[in-house]
Amino acid sequence: MQPYFFPYLGYFQLLNAVDEFIVYDNIEFSRRGWIHRNRILVNGKEEYISLPLKATSDYELVCNRYLADTWQVDKKKMLNRITESYRRSPYYKEVIELIIDSLNYPDTNLFNFLLHSIRSVCNYLQINTNIIISSSIPIDHKLKAEHKVLALCKARNANAYINPIGGVGLYNKDHFLQHNIQLFFLKMNDIQYKQFDHQFIPALSIIDVMMFNPGERIKEWLNHYSIT
């Protein structure tokens, strides 16, 4: 999986479901994805929070991207926005400490910054899955898409690969079986919770889930999915 900025609950369901979780550091950055941004609840509506990045080539790898020089100022604005949006939420005091720690992480390398926040959430939710950085695995890293996934699986002696349900159109079960690897897709169940008195908005950042729900409940939800 790509590293995401405080990803949604389904990301952590997948992370919790597997024996090993490989996170890409040597993958091209995409502004359209969730690597540097996510959505939170602001006055009953979904709004983006985004990490500012130094300008560079659109084809630069995630591990070669850095937070912008304005980050110290932008960080305060982002934290104020999160605080104003969630300060009345029931688990604000516990969660805001995790967020502050993540945003204050001193390494401005984008991949290291994201990995630290993902691991922080894992610690909060007591997810103990082994997280492996893709570039540390000895394969041909010029491979793309399914070919790279298969190479990573083989290098780790995997007999099964689980991908989010969105990958149904990307990967073929028969192709994986030809390499003695079973391919599965994980789909999060319909999980809803109270977001103040607003109409529920699904698939927001894990920040939203943690602000409104106790850790024990979220840990139960980690297993609320189907595998196909």
Residues 5-44 pLDDT 10s? 999 999 999 999 999 999 999 999 988 899 999 999 999 9
- DSSP letter assigned to residue 111: H
pLDDT range class, residue 57, cuts 50, 70, 90: confident
Q: What is the mean pLDDT of the chain?
A: 97
* Total-model pTM: 0.96
Residues 186-208 pLDDT 10s? 999 999 999 999 999 999 999 99
Chain centroid offset of residue 13 CA: 10
Distance CA(226)–CA(74), nearest Å, equals 39
> What percent of the chain has a predicted confidence (pLDDT) above 70?
100
pLDDT at 179: 97
pLDDT at 31: 85
Instruction: List, in order, residues 6 or more apart from 39 with CB less than 8 Å away.
Output: 46, 47, 48, 49, 203, 204, 205
Neighbours of 189 (CB within 10 A): 11
Residues 103-155 pLDDT 10s? 999 999 999 999 999 999 999 999 999 999 999 999 999 999 999 999 999 99
Distance CA(144)–CA(164), nearest Å, equals 18
